[in-house]
Amino acid sequence: MADRPPKKGIRRLSPVGKPPRPGRKEAPPPRGRPAEERPKAEQTAPKRSEAPRKSGGGAPYGKGPGGKRGKGGKGGGRGPPRDFDAVAETMPPEPLPILAPKERRMRVFRSARTDDAYGKAPEDRTVEELMRFGVIILDKTQGPTSHQVVAWVRDALGIEKIGHGGTLDPKVSGVLPTLLGEATKVVKPLQGVGKEYIAVMRLHGDAPEEKIRAEARRFIGKVRQVPPVRSAVARRQRVRRIYDLEVLQIDGRDVLLRVTCEGGTYIRNLCVDLGKAIGVRGHMAELRRTRTGLFNEDEAISLHDLIDALQFWREDNDQTPIRSCILPYERAIAHLPRVIVRDSAVDAVCHGAELAAPGIVAMEEGIQKGDGVALYTLKGEALALGDAVMATGDAERAESGIVIKPSRVLLPAGTYPSVWKGRMAVGG
């Protein structure tokens, strides 16, 4: 048999009893002591390639889920699951203010009056205006995608602009806030609010209840996740916060969970990681979203309810059902700190001007520099979203200077009279 060419990086010795090939130097003798001079234990030690493999080691070294082999090739039992490294930082449970109404403590800077001739309180809007500045809390059913659901709502209402506050997979049901018309401007702050889910995790093996509950508690805190293959975002690792993870019920291998988490958390990934931590693996069998920010499933309506309400309004001129279905879009940003603006400064902000201290009537306590805030008129209309340049205490003491930099104007220009003169900053 012809000699095979030596592999790159490996020095090959000439065959025993044969002279080296012409033009080649004879290979030097191997390093170390000859075999006959070494201790007996070293002579009988197996070579590295003959050493027995360690059993276990997870999918990289043996068979993984479904009988597929990992990197280990032959041999190796299934062993414990792979180290998933999902929990980045453990922390005790903490309250989530954006999932529950909190007491608003406003600090009034100065007295002011509003002119009833301009603007309108959110509850006084007509049905047509609600379709332009409203939000519908839908109870999405299993089957259609979120995009299909909002498209049906768009066609039923006869509007052009529509959006939703967080995608739900076709097999997932629950709360789906749907924003109408100009209300789509608040999609981004709504998508970032906390969410609450009820999930069924199905384990792939039996596990003691104490182990399940103990591992679930470990996931409260920050976790690292990579979005699934079928997702609308880039598949790179990111950190999300789990505010609470409660085991509600255990029935055999089915575990009922209540998850309170940061927006953008993948519950499917969470169930997979929790199953690995328990030691038997698992997957998400069912999922329902029960809360998005301050919206919960108790006030969610079905598509059938919406269609019926539209028929009552269009055919019988009965506005009561449709008004209960379409809420003012101010509800979608109710979790943000509030800043009340006087009438004389409203139109300036509508044109993008920065808000100075004299233009503020009241400001919520606890606002710090850099916090995102929502600006409101004296009638309660959402005026704009912005970033605080001063904390509440500093703004109260200031007689001049920029306090809020608007980032997104919500109220149409011209709703209030233009009485400002400055180009960049307005103070009333």
Same-domain pairing of 384 and 399: yes
How many whole angstroms separate alpha carbon 211 and alpha carbon 415?
A: 60
In a domain, 29, yes or no: no
Same-domain pairing of 358 and 232: no
The answer to whether the CB of 378 falls within 8 A of the CB of 114 is yes
Same-domain pairing of 215 and 261: yes
pLDDT in tens, the chain (428 residues): 455 554 444 344 334 444 445 555 555 554 555 545 554 444 444 444 444 444 333 333 333 334 443 444 434 343 333 333 333 333 334 444 455 556 778 999 999 999 999 999 999 999 999 999 999 999 999 999 999 999 999 999 999 999 998 889 999 999 999 999 999 999 988 888 899 999 999 999 999 999 999 999 999 999 999 887 776 667 788 899 999 999 999 999 999 999 999 988 999 999 999 999 999 999 999 999 999 999 999 999 999 999 999 999 999 999 999 999 999 999 999 999 999 999 999 999 999 999 999 999 999 999 999 999 999 999 999 999 999 999 999 999 998 999 999 999 999 999 999 875 544 455 65
Same-domain pairing of 174 and 320: yes
Q: Left if phi > 0, otherwise alpha if psi is -120 to 50, otherwise beta: which for 42?
A: alpha
Same-domain pairing of 281 and 302: no
The answer to whether the CB of 283 falls within 8 A of the CB of 298 is no
Q: How far, in Å, are 230, 277, 297, 325, 346 from residue 199 at the CA level?
A: 20, 17, 15, 27, 45
Q: With b meaning 16 or more CB within 10 Å and e meaning fewer, what string describes 323-333? A: bebbbbbbbbb
The residues carrying an active-site annotation are 169
The residue assigned the tokens 């400001």 is: 363
Strands (E) across 80-131 are located at 87-90, 106-108
Same-domain pairing of 228 and 314: no
In a domain, 101, yes or no: no
Same-domain pairing of 215 and 270: yes
Q: How far, in Å, are 67, 153, 183, 184, 288 from residue 135 at the CA level?
A: 49, 11, 7, 9, 20
Total count of domains within the chain: 4
**Residue 387 β-bridge partners:** 372, 405
Vertex 352: Cα angle to 348 and 355 (nearest 5): 60
Look up the CATH number of the domain holding residue 373: 2.30.130.10
Same-domain pairing of 162 and 301: yes
Helix segments in 137-293, DSSP class H: 146-157, 187-191, 209-218, 267-278
> What is the domain extent for residue 301?
120-191+297-331
